[in-house]
């Protein structure tokens, strides 16, 4: 990618176990417990476009919103992130809120600052491929959805950069470099003092969490939950391609220990089979769910919000994966 900075692969921390392949993680998940069956979420007011890869619901000034990726079924790299409010079981575009030129939107609060982010796609034409595109994570901030302003972007070809407030008044940053030793994508972690320090250089130099993904498999962080004892609960996805080139994405979690720079083993918490059958953008994406957010209820349960096969969105109530932490 043009102007891409090199990742510092010498800065790593190793876990003391070997990564488990997706197929084994899936077997462990299916044998471990009975999981409830999820449901699809209904969206309207988007001119027959698909809404998928949603966030969990979030509260701004006593209003509940969900962000969703909106795209025509036949389109590629032509998404928008819109904000929706629920009325009688259906989610409608919220009036007067902005439409952002992003994919896979997310929400967080950092030191009382509201942060909206997503994947920004832009043209990178070459003589060989005039339709080539690039992508990076873009970050917006504001007092509310009506005052959002973009304040920084991550490195080229890096999705799934996520932020979390830490107890030492710093900001934790999870990253997802790709290419080279990182292949389809691994997860890194670093700390910054303030949002002004969030830039491509600091993101690229994050420490890789080693031994999380088996060869030819990849993953990323989608949402972060600060836990006690300087631990961070990470909701993410883990994925691979099979011999037919079909993609398989699963919702997963792990716990990251800031003091030791190590993580617990990855666990799958939901799959496409835990939701009603439905549409897929293309057949190769039929076994895909993309983690959007986890709404923890404080009673040992949580609701997981996901995108389904790049065409729909769903939610499912399950055991809170961070309840004992």
Count CA within 13 A, CB hemisphere, residue 2: 9
Is 7 contained in some domain? no
Is 51 contained in some domain? yes
Q: What is the per-residue pLDDT across 306-315, written as a single tens digit (0 to 9) for each?
A: 999 999 999 9
Is 145 contained in some domain? yes
Beta bridge partners of 241: 247
> 54 with 223: CB under 8 angstroms?
no
Edge-first strand listing for the sheet containing 133-142: 103-110, 113-123, 133-142, 149-153
User: Encoding tokens for residue 161?
Assistant: 């950069």
Q: How far apart are CA 41 and CA 306, in angstroms?
A: 10
Is 218 contained in some domain? yes
Number of Cβ within 10 Å of residue 73's Cβ equals 13
Is 1 contained in some domain? no
Q: How many domains does the chain have?
A: 1
Q: What is the per-residue pLDDT across 244-298, written as a single tens digit (0 to 9) for each?
A: 999 999 999 999 999 998 999 999 999 999 999 999 999 999 999 999 999 999 9
Count CA within 13 A, CB hemisphere, residue 87: 8
Is 97 contained in some domain? yes
Q: Whole-model pTM?
A: 0.93
CATH of the domain at 51: 2.115.10.20
Is 86 contained in some domain? yes
Range(s) of the domain holding residue 163: 16-318
- pLDDT confidence of residue 23: 95
Cα–Cα nearest to 104, from 253, 296, 249, 302 = 249
Is 10 contained in some domain? no
């Amino acid at each position: 990618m043009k102007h891409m900075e090199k990742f510092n692969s010498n800065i790593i921390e190793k876990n003391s176990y070997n990564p488990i392949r997706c197929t084994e993680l899936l077997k462990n998940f299916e044998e471990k417990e009975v999981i409830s069956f999820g449901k699809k979420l209904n969206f309207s007011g988007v001119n027959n476009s698909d809404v998928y890869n949603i966030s969990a619901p979030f509260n701004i000034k006593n209003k509940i919103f969900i962000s969703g990726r909106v795209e025509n079924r036949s389109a590629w790299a032509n998404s928008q992130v819109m904000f929706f409010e629920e009325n009688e079981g259906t989610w409608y575009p919220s009036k007067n809120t902005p439409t952002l030129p992003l994919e896979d939107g997310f929400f967080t609060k950092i030191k009382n600052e509201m942060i909206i982010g997503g994947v920004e796609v832009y043209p990178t034409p070459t003589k060989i491929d005039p339709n080539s595109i690039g992508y990076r994570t873009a970050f917006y901030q504001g007092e509310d959805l009506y005052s959002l302003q973009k304040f920084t972007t991550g490195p080229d070809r890096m999705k799934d950069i996520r932020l979390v407030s830490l107890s030492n008044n710093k900001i934790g940053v999870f990253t997802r470099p790709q290419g080279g030793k990182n292949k389809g994508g691994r997860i890194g972690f670093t700390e910054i003092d303030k949002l002004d320090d969030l830039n491509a250089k600091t993101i690229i130099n994050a420490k890789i969490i080693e031994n999380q993904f088996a060869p030819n498999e990849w993953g990323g962080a989608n949402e972060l939950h600060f836990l006690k004892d300087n631990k961070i609960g990470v909701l993410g996805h883990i994925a691979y391609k099979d011999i037919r080139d079909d993609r398989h994405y699963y919702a997963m979690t792990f716990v990251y220990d800031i003091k030791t720079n190590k993580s617990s083993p990855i666990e799958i918490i939901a799959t496409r089979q835990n939701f009603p059958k439905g549409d897929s953008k293309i057949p190769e994406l039929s076994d895909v769910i993309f983690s959007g957010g986890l709404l923890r209820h404080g009673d040992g349960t949580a609701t997981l919000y996901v995108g389904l096969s790049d065409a729909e969105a769903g939610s499912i109530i399950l055991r809170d994966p961070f309840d004992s932490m």
